[in-house]
Amino acid sequence: MTAPVHDGLDLIFAALADPTRRRVLSMLLEDDMAVSDVAQPFAMSLAAISKHLAVLAAAGLIRQERRGRITWCKLDPQGMRTASVWMQGFGQFDPVDLDAFERFLETELKEWTPE
């Protein structure tokens, strides 16, 4: 039995609710990154960043891949597409334009400062 679509949406929107995770997604729009590189700009432990990455992966927004001794993170646009399709069902939202989403994240992150 497969999980209802709304369960996946709950994970996606919960993942997007956190500013740290939104910043990580913005960083991954540029290119794949090693976990240690993702953690670098944040004033938190590698374990804390790993928890954020686990939430993003569970929501289907990123994929993690082990290459040798390094774990790489890659944006998975399918998760965002799932949320976009759901929102389009209400007829009030345009499809998610990833370029516009990146600009939105950049604007939001300019105001964001680590705690």
Note the pLDDT tens digit of each residue in 75-107: 998 888 888 888 777 766 566 677 777 787 777
Question: Are the CB atoms for 61 and 73 separated by under 8 Å?
Answer: no
Over the stretch 12-27, which tens digit does the pLDDT of each residue have?
Answer: 999 999 999 999 999 9
Range of the domain at 83: 5-102
Residue 68's H or E segment, with its range, is: none
Judge whether residue 52 has pLDDT over 80: yes
Number of domains in the chain: 1
Is 114 a residue whose pLDDT tops 70?
no
Task: Give 70's strand partners.
Answer: 67
Element (H, E) at 27: helix 19-30
For the chain, the average pLDDT equals 85
What pTM was estimated for this model as a whole?
Answer: 0.73
- Domain of residue 47, CATH code: 1.10.10.10
Burial of 99 (0-12, 13-18, 19+ CB in 10 A): exposed
Q: Is residue 109 part of a domain?
A: no
49 pLDDT more than 70: yes
Q: Is residue 71 part of a domain?
A: yes
Question: Which pLDDT belongs to residue 92?
Answer: 61
